[in-house]
Amino acid sequence: MKHYIIPIFIPHYGCIHSCVFCNQRKITGRDNPVRFQEVATIIDEHLARITEKRYIEVAFYGGSFTALPLKMQSELLEPAHKALTDGKIHNIRLSTRPDCITREIVDNLIKYGVSTIELGVQSLDNKVLEASARGHHSQDVFQAISIIKKMNLRCGLQLMPGLPLEDWQSLIHTAYDVIKLAPDFVRIYPTLVIANTKLAKMYQEGHYEALSLTAGVVRGAFLKLLFAHYEISTIRTGLQATEELDKGNIVLGGPYHPAFGEMVDSYIFYIMLVHCVESILLSHQTDDIIIHHHSRDTSKIRGIYNENIKKIKNLYGIETLILIPDGFTKDELLVEYKNLSYVINKKMLFYI
């Protein structure tokens, strides 16, 4: 069953910190935080648009939901809880800070039907967290996840590769700490320089170097491949494109692209293609190479503007590379060359 998300935005509502990268109003496209009186209306408006059977979630995004007073949390959750008990929706989720999780808070969330909590972790390197003015340490993340898991809720983590002082070593350590935490899923949001933030000032004064689009794609691909190897699902890479973000004066730097997630997947398929070709070709050949794949992966294999195919052909002197969308398994390639067959998928890349 397809998912349908009913988003409730509470930009910077309740948060007592001002992270260097944060401008929730520009990211969410909403200037005013939602009031509890609006939640029921928003839910009803979305439900009226649904014409097919869907798995429906109400999701509270932005800000730091559990930093709000308990009374306000309850008021915002009540309309969603009513929709849940009436059978109109199937789940309630929210995002918050790791240092705003306690047993009392989670008990209250459970009372109102919340079953999924996403933590804005961003990094598990304390020097990166400090440079980003996060206001918490990695230990807060471990404690929060311990509470959430003990109370049998689903837990997701949000990461932001490219923060100040982060390098590859730091990112790798963060990735393996995430694996130890074993979240149910992750989101990967490479750091963007948003106008009217502290990071924007650092960037303009030359104190921060933003990731290029290519660097952001490579880091996103590394994280997604590593997490897939350990059975951790990456449910999103890159911020959702909005009219606000697409304005030329909002994103000042960093790897922003409306199709960022597609670019990450395409890069992963490029790595898979390279490995296959290098494994079956002893030298530059002109024989046809046939690639069987799932039909839903065709555009990702080809890459934007057919870039992957062009690069492979040029790099290895391949005259004809044939794509046949007859595979049964997503994220898997069956490559035929002469009398050889070669199978590879995303998980296998970390065994090689």
Three-state SS for the chain is CCEEEEEEECCCCCCCCCCCCCCHHHHHCCCCCCCHHHHHHHHHHHHHHCCCCCEEEEEEECCCHHHCCHHHHHHHHHHHHHHHHCCCCCEEEEEECHHHCCHHHHHHHHHCCEEEEEEEEECCCHHHHHHCCCCCCHHHHHHHHHHHHHCCCEEEEEECCCCCCCCHHHHHHHHHHHHHHCCCEEEECCCCEECCCHHHHHHHCCCCCCCCHHHHHHHHHHHHHHHHHCCCEEEEECCCCCHHHHCCCCEEECCCCCCHHHHHHHHHHHHHHHHHHHHHCCCCCCCCEEEEECHHHHHHHHCHHHHHHHHHHHHHCCCCEEEECCCCCCCEEEEEECCEEEEEEHHHHHCC
Residue 28 has pLDDT above 80, yes or no: no
Instruction: Report the predicted TM-score, pTM, of the whole model to 2 decimal places.
Output: 0.90
The predicted structure's pLDDT at residue 176: 97
* Average pLDDT estimate for 34-53: 91
User: Comparing C-alpha atoms, which of 345, 337, 341, 331 is closest to residue 312?
Assistant: 337
Q: Is the pLDDT of residue 145 over 90?
A: yes
Res. 29: pLDDT tops 80: no
Find tokens 């809880």 and name the residue.
81
pLDDT digits (tens, 9 = 90+) for 65-102: 999 999 999 999 999 999 999 999 999 999 999 999 99
pLDDT-based confidence at 128, cuts 50/70/90?
very high
User: Domains plus CATH for the chain?
Assistant: 3-258 (3.20.20.70), 271-350 (3.40.30)
Arithmetic mean of pLDDT over the chain:
91
Name the range with the highest mean pLDDT among 150-164, 286-300, 338-352: 150-164
Q: What is the pLDDT of residue 130?
A: 96
Average pLDDT over residues 14-20: 77
